[in-house]
A = this chain, B = another copy of it.
């Protein structure tokens, strides 16, 4: 690892040669502008210029992925794709996530020399670790707080997402807590709405959590959605901690990586990082950012838990992409920075086997909203069915076979397994 440079890995598509496209990227994002200017000396370029480290050609295509690319004279009609690595001197921006993004993303997505650009990965020197301490709890801290070991942390999302009264919410949470649930989160649509302000919600929910804990001896983790403007983050966090709460949640793209960084400075409980809005940064295959790159920034900024969608989900994302995200999140970074991947979206007991088969890890949080709450025999059976699904998965027993002896799982299959 080069400790004085940041390396960005891009998927590039261009009507020009890959060499010319790569040079445009390096020039635009360091010393260059559209015309030579006084002062752009060779010495300055040597000290501050970005450098094309490697170019790996891929396929050619007949049409541009994105509009607005200009074409060279005598263009052969081909658009060349390749993986291009560009390194930037760290001293151009320092270990600062906001300024890193201006350098490695910046105006690049708008260049006419490119008909496609996707940031695939980032290699960051240790200076970033010195500046950003990362998750305070991660996998180990979350297991300790929930008392759940050797299997995924299983939880649910409050549904309906919006509209429950505090009485209804409190009753629901108590019922789920008594059912043994490990974890519950607010929906990302529900933070601090006028009809149910966070302060009242924290009181109502924590009273339910504590009542149930007194009976079961197990205190579930509730992720309160504190997404809001900067000043609201601290206020929301402090409300949760003062009430004995043990997790806060933010929509990372709503508060920004710098919002997450700020929250991580004073947080006393794990931060549950939700990924909504991420689709617009990633669904166009030749645009935006691959989660492999983005999750590194989320971990630096302090996400103890990080949403990655789920296999067989209701979303567009392929299972292969979800698996890549889980693998990226569980890969060590600077020797640590462990975050717990959160698998969700149309999940139920039956999505456990494929998830385990593809990732071979139980260090995930597995969330099911409708997949537990709408279980025909109620949420307790929904929770039980999820545990059974993972038992079968880890033991390598086919789900149907395991279900023969376990009615909660059998009933889940009957309800959800017909899709």
Contact = CB atoms under 8 A, between A and B. Distances in A.
Which applies to chain A's interface (DSSP): helix, strand, loop or mixed? loop
Contacts of A37: 159-160, 369-370, 373-374
A162 B229 contact: no
A98 B287 contact: no
A34 B157 CA distance: 12
A369 B68 CA distance: 22
Contacts of A189: 29-30, 92-93, 102-103, 106
A358 interface: no
Interface residues of A, number: 101
Interface in A83-141: 90-94, 96-99, 101-103, 105-112, 114
Contact of A99 (B44, B228, B318): B228
B160 A39 contact: yes
Contacts of A30: 161-162, 189
Contact of A110 (B44, B160, B227, B316): B316
Given A48-B163, A112-B316, A309-B110, A281 B281 contact: yes
A283 interface: yes
Contacts of A318: 68
Interface in A251-288: 251, 253-259, 261-262, 265, 276-281, 283-285, 287-288
Interface stretch (A74-82, A147-155, A190-198): A190-198
Contacts of A112: 314-316
A56 interface: no
Best-buried of A39, A285, A346 by chain B (most CB within 10 Å):
A39
A295 interface: no
Nearest to A315: B110
A355 interface: no
A214 interface: no
A40 B103 CA distance: 46
Given A68-B317, A92-B193, A102-B251, 19 more contacts: A30-B162, A33-B160, A35-B370, A35-B371, A35-B416, A37-B370, A44-B163, A66-B283, A67-B285, A68-B316, A91-B194, A98-B228, A107-B188, A110-B278, A110-B315, A114-B316, A229-B262, A230-B261, A284-B284
10 contacts: A34-B346, A39-B168, A68-B283, A68-B316, A93-B189, A102-B251, A229-B258, A280-B288, A280-B289, A281-B281
